[in-house]
Amino acid sequence: MASSLQLWSFSFILMASTLVIISKPVLVLGVFRPSPWQLAHATFYGDDTASETMGGACGYGNLYVNGYGIETAALSTTLFNNGYSCGTCYQIKCYQSKWCYKGLPFITVTATNLCPPNWSQDSNDGGWCNPPRSHFDLSKPAFMQIAQWQAGIVPVFYRRVACIRKGGLRFYFQGNGYWLLVYVMNVGGGGDISGMWVKGSGTGWILMSHNWGASYQAFATLGGQALSFRITSYTTRQTITAWNVAPSNWNVGWTYGTNVNFR
Ligand SMILES: *[C@@H]1O[C@H](CO)[C@@H](O)[C@H](O)[C@H]1NC(C)=O
């Protein structure tokens, strides 16, 4: 009896330690993992200057000033996910078209805009961004890195990858002393956010609501207070806090940097 109990507890310990070893990689919390490669199509919009890609539906404004540059994409409604996909990053490679450039394995782009549906065009003939299609409308300079622009449209393989960003999260303020609208930029890791809180030096944490694109808002009296933010990654669900992001004399139209980011 005693020996079988010992045997049982020994195997239990063995089992438990095996479980710990097996579950260890799963327990790495808050780290973004790339998705599998999937098939979609890519087109382009705007011209060689990419000026039409500025001021997209994510609200990043000038993409040069805000660090996104010209390697950007407008996502079809299906991929855009009501703006929750703003800031996500994709590797894209041209696939099985005579227009594909050989040699370059892929480009990496950030989602900065929505490619809206056009229901007066068939989904398989011009209405490329109509649901339920997964589609990337690239900046022309980005498209021209994977295929000849004369192609118009090419099949692509794509996968979500971690966004590599220099420095911390950045917050661009709009609104007024009673309504704070914050555009979240330069998000690393998953690149996306699912929720956000603000704390004035004289308030508790206030839950912000999603406005549009990559912006969140709080209807609260926050003028004249130093502001801290708490932000949750949509994909990894990690939450990080950026203390005292803006001083008490903060202003709308300004961008405030932090020294925290997702990986
Ligand atoms: C939608 O497609 C039609 C037909 O090709 C075109 O005339 C129209 O300009 C398109 N609308 C937009 C908003 O692109």
pLDDT tens digit string along 109-143?
999 999 999 999 999 999 999 999 999 999 999 99
Instruction: Over range 202-223, report the average pLDDT.
Output: 97
Kindly give the number of the ligand 1 atom that is closest to the alpha carbon of 121.
Answer: 2
- Average pLDDT over all residues of the chain: 90
Centroid of chain to Cα 63: 15
Domains and CATH numbers, the chain: 38-161 (2.40.40.10), 170-256 (2.60.40.760)
At 98 the pLDDT is 96
Pocket test for ligand 1, best of 120, 123, 128 (most atoms within 8 A of CB): 120
Please state, in angstroms and rounded to a whole number, the distance separating the CA atoms of residues 79 and 90: 11
Q: Which two tokens stand for residue 226?
A: 């130093």
Q: How far is the CA of 45 from the centre of ligand 1 (A)?
A: 14
| Residue % of the chain over a pLDDT of 90 | 82
Does any ligand 1 atom lie closer than 6 A to the CB of residue 120?
yes
Q: How far is the CA of 83 from the centre of ligand 1 (A)?
A: 23
Closest residue by CA, ligand 1 atom 5: 121
In this predicted structure, the answer to whether residue 28 has a pLDDT above a threshold of 60 is no
Closest to 194 in 3D by CA, of 110, 82, 60: 82
In which band, very low, low, confident or very high, does the pLDDT at 24 lie, cut at 50, 70 and 90? very low
Q: How far is the CA of 59 from the centre of ligand 1 (A)?
A: 24
In this predicted structure, the answer to whether residue 14 has a pLDDT above a threshold of 90 is no
Closest residue by CA, ligand 1 atom 10: 118
At 5 the pLDDT is 43
In this predicted structure, the answer to whether residue 12 has a pLDDT above a threshold of 50 is no
In which band, very low, low, confident or very high, does the pLDDT at 65 lie, cut at 50, 70 and 90? confident
Q: How far is the CA of 117 from the centre of ligand 1 (A)?
A: 10
Q: What are the counts of helices (DSSP H) followed by strands (DSSP E) for the chain?
A: 3, 15
Summarised one tens digit per residue, pLDDT across range 225-258 is 999 999 999 999 999 999 999 999 999 999 999 9
Q: Calculate the CA dihedral of residues 46, 52, 56, 61 and round it to 10 degrees.
A: 150
Does any ligand 1 atom lie closer than 6 A to the CB of residue 121?
yes
Does any ligand 1 atom lie closer than 6 A to the CB of residue 119?
no
Determine contact, residues 231/211, Cβ cutoff 8 Å: no
In this predicted structure, the answer to whether residue 193 has a pLDDT above a threshold of 50 is yes
